[in-house]
Chain A
Amino acid sequence: MKILICITHVPDTTSKIQFTDNNTKLDKNGVQFIIGPYDDYALARAVELKEQLNATLTVLNVGEAETEPTLRKALAIGADDAIRVNAFPKDSQFVAEQIAAIAKQNNYDLIMMGRESIDFNGGMVHGMVGELLGIPSISPVMKLEIEGDKVKMAREIEGGKEYLEAKLPLVAGCQEPIAEWKIPNMRGIMSARTKPLTVVEPASQNVATEVINFQLPPAKGTVKLVDKDNVAELVRLLKNEAKVL
C-alpha cells in the first residue's frame, strides 16, 4: 500500500498578511511557515493508516528550496520519504500537473491532500489531479477507513454529511475530524534528518491564471458600543443605520 500526501508550505494561521514589491509578493517578514492545517489532517490520518496497513508514506510539495523544513517536519511526523518539485507553485493547474506526473510514475494507491490550501483557498488541486489521472476525487473528507480495496468515507456537505464508498485508487481532500494533528517526537525529528528527500524538476510549465497584484481589505472603523441595558437601541441601529433587519 503506497500513500502520497501532498502538503503546502503556508503562513501560520495567526500571521498578519502583508505584501511588498508594489503588492506583488507576500511580505515574509516575521511570518512563520507551517504545513497547511488541512494537509496536516491528511498526514495525521496517513500516519494512522501506515500503522494499520503497513503502508509507505511519501510526502510531496511543489515549491522552492525554502519549503524543505516543512517537508522535513512531515518526515518527522511519520512520512517515509519526501519529494520536492523544484518550482514556485504558480497556480492550481500547474501544481496539479506536477502532482499527477509524479503519481503516474509511482502508482500510489491513495493520494491524500488537504481540502484547501490556506493561502489561495482554491480547494481544487485534488479534483484536478483526480481528473488528470482518471480516478475519483472526493472532498472534503471527514472520515476515511480502508477495508481491502474499498474505502469508506464521510464527506461534509452543507448542513451535514454524506457517507460514501469507492475503490482504490482515489484522491481525498481531507479535513477534521479525520484524525488529530500529530506533533513530531524526538525520535521522529532525529530520523527525519536522514530520510530521503528527492528534488525533481517540473514536468510541465502550463498555467491557467496569473496574479497581477494583491490587495488588503479596507480597514474596519471603530466599533459602535451600545449599553447592555438599552438593547433595543442595537436593533434600531441594525434596522435604520445598517439597514440589515
Chain B
Amino acid sequence: MSILVYIEQAEGSIKKTSLEAVSFARALADKTNGGEVVAVALGTVSEAELSHVGAAGASKVFHVEDSKLDAGVIQAHAEAVAQVYQKVGSKTLVMAKSSLGDAVAARLAIKLDAALVSNVVELPETDNGYTVKRSIYTGKAFAQTSVTKEHKILAIRKNAVDLKTDGAKASVEKVSLQIPDTNFATKITSTDKATGEILLPEADIVVSGGRGMKGPENWGMIEDLAKELGAATGCSKPVSDIGWRPHHEHVGQTGVKVAPTLYIAVGISGAIQHLAGVNSSKFIVVINKDPEAPFFKAADYGIVGDAFEVLPKLTEAVKAIK
C-alpha cells in the first residue's frame, strides 16, 4: 500500500519541509508494511528537481504539470491531490505543516473522508491500533491521538524525523487532470515575497531580535550573525507591531512557530507568548543584559550582556571556526 506525499514547491524548487515529509513517509512505510512512497507535485517544476525527491525516500513522483497550479490556489490544490490520491489507491497522505498545507489538508479531509492529524511530532504507533503524537497548546503539551478512520492525513511538524538524503532517484510520471473551474474561483492577484531569504519556518537556525535591539537601524547586527550562520531572522511581536520588522518574522503564540535546531534570542525578555513559538527548538541561546530575564529559564546557553557588544563578537567567533 503506497503512502502519498503532497510536496510543495516555491518558484520551481521543492520545499525542504516537504522533503522531510517524504522521509517521514518512508520511515512510516518501513515501520508498517514496507510499501512504496509516492509523491505528488503540482505546477511547473523541473524534472531534475523532482528526481531529488528520491533522495528523501520516494520511488515515484506524479507530476501535474499544469501552470494554473503554480500558484497555491487552495481549492484547486486540494482537488488535484484528491484525484491523485484516488488514482494511487493510497490510504495515507503525508504533508508538511505550512500555510498552504494546512488549508489544503483540511479540505482534503472532507473530500477523502479521512482523519486529519496536524502538528505530528513523531512516527505513529501502529502495533496496537493507530496512535499519533501531536503538539498542542502551542507547544506547551502533546496529545496522543487515536485514529479510527481507514484514510489518514498526517500534517507533520518540522524535525519530526531526520531528512534522508541517500535514497535512489525517483521516477517521474506526468499526469494530466481535469480540475473543474469552480476550484479556481479564488484569484491570486499578486504576491509580495522576500526572495533569497532563508524562510523562517524551514530554517535550521534562527536569530531573533526583540525590543532590546532598540530600533530597526540596529538589525544589521542580527542579519550579520544570521548570514554567518546561514540562519533565518525572526523577531518578537512588539518589534513587528511597531514596524521594525515585517509581520511574517514575528515568532510566538500569535506568530510563526519555529522548530529549528538552534534558536538565538537577542534582547527578547521571554514572555510566555513568545516562548510558545520557540519551545520546539532543540537548543536555545539567550543574549540579554538582564540576568533576571525569564528567557534564561527556557535557555540551554546564555550570555548576560549588552547585545550591542556581544553580537559583533559572536559573529566574529562564528567566522573564526569556519
Task: Give chain A's interface residues, CB within 8 Å of chain B.
Answer: 11, 13-14, 17, 19, 37-38, 92-93, 96, 116, 118-128, 130-132, 136-140, 142, 155-167, 170, 173, 175-177, 208-217, 220-221, 223-228, 231-232, 234-239, 242, 244-245
Q: Which residues of A contact B102 (CB under 8 A)?
A: 116, 123-124, 127, 139
A-B residue pairs in contact (CB < 8 Å), sample of 18: A13-B272, A120-B143, A121-B118, A122-B118, A123-B102, A131-B106, A131-B110, A142-B247, A155-B99, A162-B71, A163-B188, A164-B187, A212-B143, A214-B141, A214-B143, A225-B302, A227-B303, A244-B283
List the B side residues contacting A177 at CB < 8 Å: 247
A175 touches B321 (CB 8 A): no
The digit string for B265-294, where 1 denotes a CB below 8 A from any CB of A, is 000000011001001001101100000000
Chain A residues with CB under 8 A of B248: 156-161
Alpha-carbon gap, A170 to B137, bound state (A): 28
Q: Please tell me if B201 contacts chain A, counting CB pairs below 8 Å.
A: yes
Interface centre among A155, A157, A170, A237 (most CB of B within 10 A): A157
Cβ-defined partner of A118 (8 Å) among B138, B246, B286:
B138
Give the total number of A-B pairs whose CB atoms are below 8 A apart.
271
Bound-state Cα–Cα, A208 to B117, Å = 9
Which residue of the partner chain, among B116, B131, B297, contacts A208 with CB atoms under 8 Å?
Answer: B116
B interface, over-half SS: mixed
- Assembled-state Cα–Cα distance A180/B182 (Å): 34
Q: Is the CB of B145 within 8 A of A212?
A: yes
Closest Cβ of chain A: how far from B98's Cβ, in Å? Answer: 7
Q: Ordered nearest first, which 3 A-B pairs have the shortest CB separation?
A: A127-B106, A228-B305, A160-B193
CA distance A228 to B306 in the complex (A): 8
Residues of B90-120 whose CB lies within 8 A of A? 98-100, 102-107, 109-111, 114-119
With both chains docked as a complex, state the minimum distance between the C-beta of A164 and any C-beta of chain B, in angstroms: 5
Q: Are B103 and A159 in contact (CB under 8 A)?
A: no
- Identify which of A166, A176, A224, A244 contacts B187 (C-beta below 8 A): A166
Q: Cβ of A226 and Cβ of B302 under 8 Å apart?
A: yes
- A171: min CB distance to chain B, Å: 10
Residues of A within 8 A of B262 (CB): 238, 242, 244-245
Q: Is B200 a contact of A208 with CB atoms below 8 Å?
A: no
| Bound CA span A29–B140, Å | 17
A124 to B92 Cα, complex, angstroms = 18
The answer to whether A121 and B136 have CB atoms under 8 Å apart is yes
Does B78 touch A at the CB level, under 8 Å?
Answer: yes
A38-B254, A163-B192, A245-B321 known; A234 and B105 CB under 8 Å?
A: no
Q: Is the CB of A160 within 8 A of B103?
A: no
Q: State A164–B292 Cα separation when bound (angstroms).
A: 45
Q: Does A228 contact B185, Cβ atoms closer than 8 Å?
A: no
Q: Which residues of B sit under 8 angstroms from A96, Cβ to Cβ?
A: 110
Question: Which one of B71, B145, B254 lies within 8 Å of A176 (CB-CB)?
Answer: B254
Interfacial chain B residues near A118, Cβ < 8 Å = 137-138, 253
Within 8 Å of chain A (Cβ to Cβ): is B1?
A: no
Alpha-carbon separation in the docked complex, A158 to B249 (Å): 9
Q: Does B85 contact A (CB under 8 A)?
A: no
Majority-rule SS of A interface residues: mixed
B283/A242 in contact, CB under 8 A: yes
What number of B residues sit within 8 Å (CB to CB) of A?
A: 93
Across-interface contacts of B74 in A (CB, < 8 A): 127, 136-138
- Chain A residue numbers with a CB within 8 Å of B49 are none
- For B261, give the chain A residue with the smallest CB separation: A244
B48 interface residue per 8 A CB criterion = no
CB contacts (< 8 Å) of A142 on chain B: these are 247
Kindly state whether residue B178 has any CB partner on chain A within 8 Å. no
**In the complex, which residues 56-114 of chain B have their Cβ closer than 8 Å to any Cβ of chain A?**
71-72, 74-75, 78, 98-100, 102-107, 109-111, 114
Q: Are A226 and B145 in contact (CB under 8 A)?
A: no
Inter-chain contact A234/B285, CB cutoff 8 Å: yes
A45 to chain B, nearest CB (A): 15
* CB of B186 within 8 Å of the partner chain: yes
A208, B115: Cβ atoms under 8 Å?
Answer: yes
Q: Which of B189-213 contact A (CB under 8 A)?
A: 189-194, 197, 199-202, 205
Asked, given contacts A163-B191, A234-B314, whether A121 binds B106 with beta carbons under 8 Å apart, the answer is no
